[in-house]
Amino acid sequence: MLQILVVCGGAGLGSSFACQMSVESVLQDIGVKASVDHSDISSAAGTRADIIISGKNFESQFQRYDLQVDLIFLDRLVDKKEIQEKLVPVLKAKGAL
Give whole-number Cα distances, 52 to 1, 17, 36, in Å: 15, 13, 10
pLDDT in tens, 51-78: 999 999 999 988 888 888 999 999 999 9
Instruction: Give the model's confidence band at 9: pLDDT under 50 very low, under 70 low, under 90 confident, else very high.
Output: confident
CA dist 25 and 97 (Å) reads: 15
Gap between the Cα atoms of 67 and 63, Å rounded: 9
* Cα atoms in the Cβ-side hemisphere of radius 13 Å centred on 37: 13
What confidence tens digit (pLDDT) does each residue in 25-39 have? 999 999 999 999 998
